[in-house]
Structure 1
Amino acid sequence: MATKDSPKPVALSHEAAYQLADVTKTPPQFGALTPKWVTRLLEFKGLETGLFRVNKVVEGDSPLEVLCSRDPAQTDIPQGFVDYQTKPREYQLSSIATIINVDTAVSDIYSAPYDQTATQIGLAIESLKERQESQIINNDDYGLLKNVADSQRVQPRYGAPTPDDLDELITKVWKEPSFFLAHPRAVAAFGREATKRGVPPVTVNIQGGTFLSWRGIPIIPTDKLFVDGLKNPTAKSGRTNILLVRTGEAKRGVVGLYQTGLPGEQSRGLSVRLRGIDDNGLASYLLSIYCSAAILADDALAVLEDVEVGEYHDYE
């Protein structure tokens, strides 16, 4: 039994013991990264020359319609031809690039358990892929939002996205629609409106992800469809757009484009090349993604414009 005159127990301190302990570490956590469902679900076509021409039939009062409208009582074989546009649109791949510098002394000494060069390049690649997804949606030249035909634009009935609004989008892209694209807040706003009307959306599983759906069409969330008025994360309302996409060349849909056979190719359309090592031992790497997107037919894409995402209420 210890008395007040007994000496205090002596033990190794936590601070000293820490010096002998191994620390289990994670790789750097990049919180801004997203699943990038757009580039995962969009069908892509590889190019050899960086150029893609979308040839189209001249539609409307065309020889094809004349042939099809001939009197069935006629016994003569109809003659004619199907005309093509003489100035079809051409898409040229755009480059998204960055340079990563790595001190070779750092990578030589501090590359266990994680290779410093591979980690730096991996994080930069993910950042480039985020930019690629944003460009496919928002690029001024080939971005989906900027290339929706006027006939394929829909205005919401009441502000917030409703089942009626998404049904209207389906009438615009009724030939095998693939998926809706919406900001997560727009997905939530639609879920509220559908539930309020007694038709809560069901969930579907695609490529390991679980999504809300409407009429069997998945509603894919992406933060690359921006919300106006949300310049800071504390804002609770704003306006955004919802896209409906048909993808695939065989379906005359939307296709992503990329360059094949790149030097230093790491993945689809992505190149990583060593630029050199300078006199100070600084290694420099050039990372490039070549991409674009093409809409093969006007009815492959439609947009519900300026929907309200509503307001979030915090309950404590």
Structure 2
Amino acid sequence: MSDIHEAHTALGDVAARTLSNATKTVPMMGTITPRWLVHLLQWVPVEAGIYRVNKVKNETSLAVDCSSLDEKVLPQTFVDYEEWGREYRLNAVNTVLDVHTRIADLYSSPHNQIREQLRLTIETVKERQESELINNTEYGLLNNVADSMKVKTRNGSPTPDDLDELIAKVWKEPAFFLAHPRAIAAFGREATRRGTPPPTLSLFGSQFLTWRGLPLIPTDKLRITNGKTNILLLRTGESRQGVVGLYQPNLTDELSMGLSVRFMGINHKAIASYLVSLYCSLAVLTEDALGLLENVEVDNYYDYAYDYKK
């Protein structure tokens, strides 16, 4: 009688997965950043989309005296104002999101398609907002630095001496530095090489390098061109005559500060449209509220390694 050899097999992974449900995440998007600048600014609501910055005229000519004991001889003075201050108008960052109703109806489990489409669109709009706050040709930070508030690096790489000189410019209650992550890394290397490694500070649950107690806030919206970038130092707040963000309150279909999402209807091709709008601007209330370190080199790894070995 011949031996009967039975083939023993088991259910394979591929076949088994036909009966299982995969746990699905919401869509991930690598362009989303923390947008620290938006969190750290004081935001001022604007009536009718216009914000006027009034300033004192001939501010150094105000007469006061404390040398005379004769009360009959007192200086007389008054504070004059510029007739028309600079007016800032809110800028609109907007787009129209289209979602086919068939997609929304059939494929909204476990994640709602319209909600996720809106979430990712809003994130993109907010990323553009931060970029405009820094780079806009009219109100962006880089284009509103007074010439007297600009500092050039001594050796290309950002050093503690450079940041100290920037602090000397914005010395009235500076709030934070704003720099590209690679510029912050370059500063950290230079400071460490000199034996003064920058301490860290915890904000919003994250760690930041600091210098003289001021955090270096990273943003990728400060561009790097030919290996060079800029570092900003800001004083913030209306009461401190600093830098303030501007937004329009009480928008129709407002979702968050200055942001609205409006349903525009469904067209004859069964496509639902949503208008996503964000209204914002930025104002520098006094010249000494904003300083700039120019020509910051970030591509000097070879020089750093060479100096370190020496």
> Is the TM value for this pair above 0.5?
yes
Shift of 1:61: 4.4
RMSD, aligned CA: 1.7
Aligned counterpart in structure 1 of residue 68 of structure 2, from 53, 69, 72 = 72
Matched, 1:168 2:165: yes
What do residues 67-111 of structure 1 show as CA deviations (whole Å, max 9, x unaligned)?
125753553333221011112100000100011101111111111
**Structure-2 separation of matches of 1:6 and 1:273:** 71
Note if contact 2:157-2:300 (Cα within 8 Å) is conserved in structure 1.
no
- The reply to whether residue 47 of structure 1 matches residue 46 of structure 2 is yes
User: Which one of the candidate residues 111, 123, 126 is aligned to 2:123?
Assistant: 126
Asked if 2 retains the 8 angstrom alpha-carbon contact of 1:203 and 1:213, the reply is: yes
Q: Deviations over 1:236-259 (max 9, x none)?
A: xx0000000011011110000010
SS in 2 for 1:302: strand
Aligned AA for 1:161?
P
Question: Equivalent residues in 2 for 1:124-273 (5 A)?
Answer: 124-229=121-226, 238-273=227-262
Compared CA separation, residues 77 and 106, structure 1 to 2 (3 A): same
* Ranges in structure 1 where 5+ consecutive residues have no aligned partner: 230-237
Q: What code does the residue aligned with 1:31 have?
A: G
**Structure 2 Cα separation of the partners of residues 109 and 59 of structure 1:** 68
Residue of structure 2 equivalent to 1:232: none
Aligned counterparts of 1:302 and 1:264: Cα–Cα separation in 2? 38
Deviation of residue 312 (structure 1)? 4.1
Specify the alignment match of 2:56 in structure 1: 57
Aligned partners of 2:65 and 2:74 also within 8 Å: no
Q: More deviation in 79-88 or 194-203? A: 79-88
Q: Give the letter aligned to residue 41 of structure 1.
A: L
Provide the residue aligned with 1:233 in structure 2: none
In the superposition, the TM-score normalised over structure 1's length comes to 0.91
Contact 1:70 1:78 in 2 (8 A): no
Q: Select 1:99's aligned residue among 90, 96, 99.
A: 96
Would you say 1:22 and 2:21 are equivalent positions? Answer: yes
Partner Cα distance (2:201, 2:103) in 1: 46
1:223 and 1:304 map into 2 onto residues whose CA distance is 16
In the aligned structure 2, how far is the partner of 1:121 from the partner of 1:107? 12
For 1:103-114, list aligned pairs within 5 A: 103-114=100-111
Equivalent residue of 2:48, what SS? coil
TM-score, with structure 2 as normaliser: 0.93
Map of 1:11 onto structure 2: 10
Aligned to 1:280: 269
Deviates more, 1:47-56 or 1:73-82: 73-82
Task: Name the SS of the counterpart of 2:10 in structure 1.
Answer: coil
Q: How far apart, CA to CA, are the structure 1 residues paired with 2:25 and 2:241?
A: 44
Moved more, 14-23 or 48-57: 14-23
Whether 1:88 and 2:85 are equivalent positions in the alignment is yes
